[in-house]
Structure formats: C-alpha cells, structure tokens
Chain A
Amino acid sequence: MAPSAETATGEWSRSLLWEGLRAYGLIVAMWVRSTMTYRASFAMTVFGNFAATAFDFVAILLMFSHVDQLGGYSLPEVAFLYGAAGAAFGLADLCLGSMDRLGRRVRDGTLDTLLVRPVPVLAQVAADRFALRRLGRITQGLLVLGYALTALDIAWTPLKVAMIPMMLLSGATIFAAVFVAGAAFQFWAQDAAEVQNSFTYGGTTLLQYPPTVFAKDLVRGVTFVVPLAFVNWLPALYVMGREDPLGLPDWVAFLPPLVAVGCCVLAGMAWRVGLRAYRSTGS
C-alpha cells in the first residue's frame, strides 16, 4: 500500500510524483516498442482510430446536407465544438485510455501484481497497454478544429487566441480526471467499465453538439455536476461570441484551468480511497 499523505514530507511526495512519471514513461515506451512489432496492424489501427471518429463527423456532415443549422448553430460552429471536444478527449484518451481495464484486473486478480511493485499503482494502470494508435483520434479532432477555425469569422483578440490551447489542455485534464475517477469507482463496481464510458465517450458525443440542442437540466448537469461544459462549450461560446443557454456571465469561460485542477484533486482523492478499499479476490 502507498504510505499515507500524513507521513509524507513535501520533498518525498515530489519524488513520488517524479517516480510515477518516470515509471509511466518507461512502461509507455515498452508498449510502444511492442506495438511496433506488428507494423501493418499498427498502421491499420491508427487509421481505424482516425476513421472511427471521422465517421461520426461524416454523420454530422450528412445532417448538414439536409439543414443549414442545428440548434441555431452553423456547420463551422458545430465543427468548432466537435474539434475541440474531440482533440481534448483524444489527448486524455491517449494518456489514460487504458484505465478502464482496471475492473478486469480487479476481477482476475492481476492487480495484486501491480501492488507489490515499487512503482505507484496509478502510473502502472495508466500506462498499461498504452495505445499509440489513439493518435488517430487526436489528429481527426485537430483537423476538424483547423477547418472550423479557418471557416469561422471570428474577431480574433490575443485573449481569444490564447483560449484555444488553454481549452484543449484544460479539457484534456478534465477528461483525464473523469478517467481516474471512473477507474477508482471500479475498485467497488469491478465490471462496470461502461459507466465510465458514458461520461467519457458519452461526454464527447454530447459536447460535439451545441448546448442549445439539449434540455436545460441536462446542460445544468454537465456544467455544475460533472463539469464537462468547461471542456469546450463555455470557452468556445466565448470565442464565437455566443450566449450560454444558462445565461452564465462571460468570465466563466476563463475558469477551465481552475475547474481542471479541482477535478484532478477530487479524482486523486477518489483514487486513494478506492485503492485503500481494495480487497484482492484471492484468485
């Protein structure tokens, strides 16, 4: 078990963080090398990962072949929301997408192997079966975002320009926190990886559409309960100069970094509690 926070000095926890990142890097490098053994298959899975997300954008394009606006938003505006959500999610998915395998490890008992190694468990679980093919999803998101940025008529200010990288990084961090919290939940639920998918994959699907499409209560839920609206809706609406359907003030568009840090703290706590509650199946 990891020593408790009370006994840890600041220096010690810094070195623990460093150790964790180093171990994460090493395990990632190992999986990348192993992936490269079957290069043809790797190329196909990168393409597949790219195409997986490309197809749902094609579906949106097909929708726009019948209408000019969806929920009052034009195609470039929807593409902006879509690209930002896709790229942010893709980044989190690349770094932590294997977290949903935790339930399987709890079930079959292989988590015990990770516990006895002198490396933080979170780093091991996060890097487990690291899948470089997920670059395909990020690429697709960035391409759609690039299209949107050229097609949209935005009065750019330095602040608005800075919003774009801030939005992607904070968004990815928020999704990363959701991944960790979802994994922590599996210490109890064991085979409920799909609940996590509702918040991650479901979250991106939700954020791909304008908030005006959804019922107000749903929008409230993803703003104040699971703060997914901070991934792209709120900053993107500010950049596009659009009203938030909940009528929130403009400055909430600058909150994503704070929200992201808050989510990470909560997810980290959930992870600690989950890991302590873990009882091996003994198999």
Chain B
Amino acid sequence: MRLYAVVAAGGFRRYATYRTATAAGVFTNTVFGFIVAYAYTALWDQRPNLGGYDLSQALTYVWLGQALLMTCAMMGGGFEDEVMERIRSGDVAIDLYRPADLQLWWLAGDLGRAAFHLVGRGIVPMALGALAFDLALPGNPLTWLAFLLSVFLGVVVSFSVRFLVALSAFWLMDGAGVGQITFLVGLFFSGMLLPLTLFPGLLGEIARVLPWSSLLQVPADVFLGRHTGWGLLGAFAFQAGWALALLALGRLVQSVATRRVVVQGG
C-alpha cells in the first residue's frame, strides 16, 4: 500500500513539474470554456430549460467540462501511450518482473496525475468562468464532497478503459488507432460535446448507461444537485459498478496478455 502511495505522489509531482505547460493548459481550457459558453447561451436563449438545465446550470456544466477534461483524461493522455511504448519495445518485461502489480502500479500513478490536474487545471478555469458568467455553484459543502467522490470514481473508470486500450498493444503492437477511436467515442459519450440529457431517444438512453457518462455527466449532475438521497447513492453505485467491472476485465486481459510475453535476451 505504501508503495502505491509513493507512486501516486510521483504521478502528482511529475505533472506538477511543468508549470508553463500547466499555465498554458489553463489558458486553453479558459478559451474553450468561453467559446462553448457563448454557444450554449445562444442555445438556451431559444430553449430555456433544455435537457432539464436552466441557463446558469448549463453554463456551470460547460465549465465543469473544462475543469474535468484533463482530470478524467477525456481526450486520453497520461500513462497509456507509455505502456504501449513499453510493450512495443519489450520493456514491459521489466515491469512484470517488479514486485508490484502492473495494473495497480499504473492506477496509482494515474490517480496522482488526476489529482494534480484537478488542482492545477480545474480550479482556475472554473474560477474564471464563475467571474465571467453566472454559475450555479452548490452552497452545501456536502455536495462538494459528493462531487469529489464522483470525480474520483470517474477517474477510476477512465483509467480502467485506458488500461484496456494500452493492453491492446500486446496484440496490435501499435495501439494508436484503437486508442484514438476509443477516446473519440469516449469524448462524445462522456457528455463533453453536449450534455447527455440532450441526446434524443434511444441514443440518449444508451449514452447514459455507457461507462463514459461517469467521466463528466454523472459528476456534473452531482455538482448541480440533481442526484440526492438514494439517487445519489445510485449514481455512485453506477460509477463504482463500471469501475469494478472494467478493472476486473483489465485484470483478465492482463493475465492473458502476460502469457504472450516472450522475453528476448540481449
């Protein structure tokens, strides 16, 4: 356990090193936040209460999306490219040799990364958004806590999907294509492009039960106070269920994959 805490702290520190990059990222998130916020304003102007959100809730949703984009790695990012590179080069053999579990090792590092991005790239754009627009920020501290728990579960779901993508390199050698397609589908179904409550009919129903809704839609609804009481527990259970199922699948694939590893000497 202590080992993984150290790995997580390492993940945090690693991303914290690049301060200019973080500042540049905050700038980008803010620019995109403004563009999308204006587009949503035009949309909600015509249809107030679209998707069950009023204008200030919709704008809050926009800025939450910018704040969580990196935290939940909605566009991919972080460890999976590295794992794929290590699989291709054969360095993964060294990782398997270590007295640490492959999946937990990378999960710990990714949690550290997510924690940094939440602090480094989440807070400032959100604050700037709140200055420029009228946002619906929760007054109850418990709602903030529930939101943090929901974000944590979202990060674990995001990790477990990306872990599966990384492992695909054992079969494909170059997993870039699979990775890209997964992330695009994920970006769309996380609710980043448009809240999933606006998706019509069957598409909407499917989108809301896919794992990616844990990345933004669910945490945003928790933040906006749309899940309360048993509904809140249900939201957590939904996220935790996907997290456990995908982690278990990752574990299974990992054990199949590692049997394929042929260690070449030299």
The interface of chain A, by Cβ under 8 A from chain B, is 38, 40-45, 47-49, 51-52, 55-56, 58-59, 62-63, 65-67, 69-71, 189-195, 197-198, 202, 205-206, 209, 212-215, 218
- Do A52 and B184 contact each other (CB < 8 Å), given the known contacts A44-B178, A70-B39? yes
B177 touching A202 by the CB < 8 A rule? no
Bound: A206/B176 CA distance, A = 28
A209 to B184 CA separation, bound complex (whole angstroms): 21
B180 touches A48 (CB 8 A): yes
Docked CA distance A63–B198 (Å): 8
For B238, what are the chain A residues with a Cβ–Cβ distance below 8 Å? none
Determine the chain A residues whose CB is within 8 A of the CB of B140 once the complex forms: none
CA distance A65 to B194 in the complex (A): 12
CB-CB under 8 A from A67, the residues of chain B are 43, 46-47
A58 partner residues in chain B, CB cutoff 8 A: 188, 193
* Given A198-B32, A205-B36, 16 new contacts (CB under 8 A): A38-B174, A40-B172, A45-B177, A47-B181, A48-B177, A48-B181, A52-B184, A62-B194, A65-B200, A67-B46, A70-B43, A190-B20, A191-B20, A202-B32, A209-B38, A213-B38
Whole-angstrom distance between the alpha carbons of A48 and B187 in the complex?
12
The DSSP consensus for interface residues of chain B is helix
Beta-carbon contact of B181 and A44 below 8 Å: yes
Question: What is the minimal beta-carbon distance from B109 to any residue of chain A, in angstroms?
Answer: 20
Set A48, A52, A70, A194: member contacting B42, Cβ < 8 A: A70
- Rounded to whole Å, the gap between the CB of B112 and the closest CB of chain A is 19
* B79: interface (CB < 8 Å): no
Report the minimum CB–CB distance from A283 to chain B (whole Å): 15
| Residues of chain B in range 175-231 having any CB-CB distance to chain A below 8 Å | 176-178, 180-181, 184, 187-188, 193-194, 198-200
Inter-chain residue pair count (beta carbon < 8 A): 109
Pick from B32, B46, B193: contact of A59, CB under 8 Å: B193
Known: A66-B43, A71-B42. A194 touches B24 (CB 8 A): yes
Q: In the A-B complex, list the 5 residue pairs whose CB atoms are closest, starting with the nearest.
A: A44-B177, A48-B180, A192-B24, A59-B193, A194-B24
| B23 interface residue per 8 A CB criterion | yes
Check A202–B38 contact: CB distance below 8 A.
no
Q: Which residue of B lies closest to A55 (CB)?
A: B188
Tell me if A213 and B42 are in contact (CB < 8 A).
Answer: yes
A66 in contact with B39 (CB, 8 Å): no
B173 lies within 8 A of chain A by Cβ: yes
Known A48-B177, A213-B39, A218-B34; judge A191-B184 contact (CB<8 A): no
Query: Known contacts being A38-B174, A45-B177, A213-B39, is A202 close to B200, with CB within 8 Å?
Result: no
Task: Tell me the smallest distance from the CB of B16 to a CB of chain A, in Å.
Answer: 13
A149, B19: Cα distance in complex, Å: 46
Interface majority SS on A: helix, strand, loop or mixed?
helix
The chain A residue sitting closest to B181, CB to CB, is A48
The yes or no answer to B97 lying at the interface (CB within 8 A) is no
The interface on chain B, measured as residues whose beta carbon lies within 8 A of the other chain's beta carbons, has a size of 37
Contact present for B198 and A66 (CB under 8 Å): yes
With A189-B20, A189-B24 in contact, is A41–B188 under 8 Å at CB?
Answer: no
Contact with A51, one of B25, B184, B200 (Cβ below 8 angstroms)? B184
Nearest A residue to B23 by beta-carbon distance? A192
The distance from the CB of B47 to the nearest CB of chain A, in whole angstroms, is 5
B198 partner residues in chain A, CB cutoff 8 A: 62-63, 66
Residues of B contacting A48 with CB < 8 Å?
Answer: 177, 180-181, 184
Q: Which of A38, A71, A202 contacts B35 (CB 8 A)?
A: A202
Question: Which residues does chain B contribute within 8 Å of A197, judged by CB atoms?
Answer: 28
Cβ of B256 under 8 Å from chain A: no
A63 and B194 contact, Cβ closer than 8 Å, known pairs A55-B188, A70-B39, A189-B24? yes
Compute how far the CA of A253 lies from the CA of B173 in the bound complex, rounded to whole angstroms. 50
B184 proximity list for chain A (CB < 8 A): 48, 51-52, 55
Contacts of A52 in B (CB 8 A): 180, 184
A62 & B199 in contact (Cβ 8 Å cutoff):
yes
For A40, what are the chain B residues with a Cβ–Cβ distance below 8 Å?
A: 172, 177
Q: Across the interface, do A51 and B43 meet the contact criterion of CB distance under 8 Å? A: no
Chain A residues closer than 8 Å to B181, beta-carbon distance = 44, 47-48, 51
* Least CB separation from B201: chain A residue: A65
Closest beta carbon of chain B to A101's beta carbon, Å: 14
Beyond A44-B178, A59-B194, whether A191 also contacts B24 by CB under 8 A is yes
| A213 CB contacts on chain B under 8 angstroms | 38-39, 41-42
Q: Is the CB of A62 within 8 A of B20?
A: no
A212 neighbours in B (Cβ, 8 Å):
42
B21 within 8 A of A: yes
Contacts of B41 in A (CB 8 A): 213
A71 to B41, CA, bound (A): 9
